[in-house]
Amino acid sequence: MDALQILLLIVTGAVAGGIGALVGIGGGIIVTPVLALYFGLPIHQAIGVSLLAVIATSTASAAVNVERRLVNVDLGMTLELATTVGAAGAAVVAGFLSRRTLAMLFMGFLVYTAGSMVKRAWGARAEALEAGTPEYTLRNYPAGLTASLFAGALSGLLGVGGGVVKVPVMHLWMGVPLRVAAATSNFTIGVTAATSAYIYYGRGDVNATVAVPVVAGIFCGALGGTRLAPHVRSVYVLLLFIAAAVWMAAQMFLKIRAGALS
C-alpha cells in the first residue's frame, strides 16, 4: 500500500469520526460504504473494518462522557445484555449473506438513517446549545431491551453502531433525556461492536492493512469532534451528513444494478 492510499484512509477515518462525534453516530455508517464504494474492499471486509471504527468511536467519546456523568452506566450495561446477543447472531448470519444482499440492506439503512436525520435537523433548526440534563426516572425496560436486540443485530450485520434505533427508543419510551440517551448509546456500541468484531476477526474479515489507518483517523476525528461538539450548531453537520448518506445510497444502488457488488 502506498503513502497516498494510507493518507486517504486516514482522512476517511477522521471525517467519519468527526461527523460521528458531532452528529452522535458511530461513524460506521460512513466507513462501510466509503471502503466498499471507493476503495474496492469486499463489503464483508468493509464491515469488519467498520466494526473496529465503531469500537474506537465509542472508546474515545465514552472515555470523556462517562466521567462527565453523561452516560447512565447501569442502563447501558443492562441494554448490552441484549445488544451483544443480537450482534453475535447477526455477525454469524452476515457470513452467509451475499455481497449483493448486504449492499442492499446497507442501502436501505442509509436511506432510513438519512430520513430520521432529516426529522432531527428540522427539529434542531432553532435549537439552542444544550446545557445540563434534567432529572428522569427510567421506565419500560422490555421496550429498551427489545430495541437493543434489534440495534445489536444491525450492528453485527452492517458494522454500524445502531444508535439510530436505540436513541429514540431510550428517549421516547424509556424517558431518558436525549443527551443522556445519545451518550449512553455511544457507550454501549463499543461492547456491541466488539462482540461481532471477534466473529469477523475469526472469519478473516478484519483487514488489518486497511483497518490500521482508518482507525487511527477515527481516533483523531472523534477526539476533535468531541471537543468541538459543545461549540457547533448540529444542524449544519446534520445537513452535511444527510447529503453524504443520500449520495452514497445512490452510488450503491447504481453499483448493485451494474452487478459490481455481486
Partner 1 sequence: MKKENIIGKTLLAGGYTSFGLLVAAIVIALTVDEGVGLTVGKVALLILMATPILRILAALLGYVAERNRRMAMIAVLLLVIIGVATSLGMSLS
Site string for partner 1, 6-45 (x = CB under 8 A): x---x-----------------------------------
Among 45, 58, 113, 234, binds partner 1 (CB under 8 A): 58
Q: How many alpha carbons fall within 13 Å on the CB side of residue 223? A: 6
Residue 93 φ then ψ, to 5°: -60, -45
In angstroms, the CA 124 to CA 109 distance is 22
136 alpha-carbon distance from chain centroid: 26
Among 39, 198, 247, 253, binds partner 1 (CB under 8 A): 198
Q: Is residue 1 within the footprint of partner 1 (CB under 8 A)?
A: yes
Q: Cell numbers at residue 247, please?
A: 449520495
Q: How many alpha carbons fall within 13 Å on the CB side of residue 146? A: 7
Query: Which window, 123-131, 160-168, 193-201, 236-244, contacts partner 1 (CB under 8 A)?
Result: 193-201
Query: Which window, 51-59, 122-130, 227-235, 253-261, contacts partner 1 (CB under 8 A)?
Result: 51-59
Q: Is residue 69 within the footprint of partner 1 (CB under 8 A)?
A: yes
Can you give the length of the chain in residues? 262
Q: Is residue 206 within the footprint of partner 1 (CB under 8 A)?
A: yes
Q: Cell numbers at residue 35, please?
A: 471502503
Closest CA to 196 of 106, 102, 90: 90
Among 8, 11, 42, 66, binds partner 1 (CB under 8 A): 66
What is the number of other CB atoms lying within 10 angstroms of the CB of residue 126? 7
Crossing angle for the helix pair 178-203 and 43-67, nearest 10 degrees?
140
Among 11, 78, 124, 138, binds partner 1 (CB under 8 A): 78
- Positions in the binding site for partner 1 (CB under 8 A): 1, 3, 6, 10, 52, 55-56, 58-60, 62-64, 66-67, 69, 71, 73-74, 77-78, 80-81, 84-85, 87-89, 91-92, 95-96, 190-191, 193-199, 201-203, 206, 208-209, 211-213, 215-216, 219
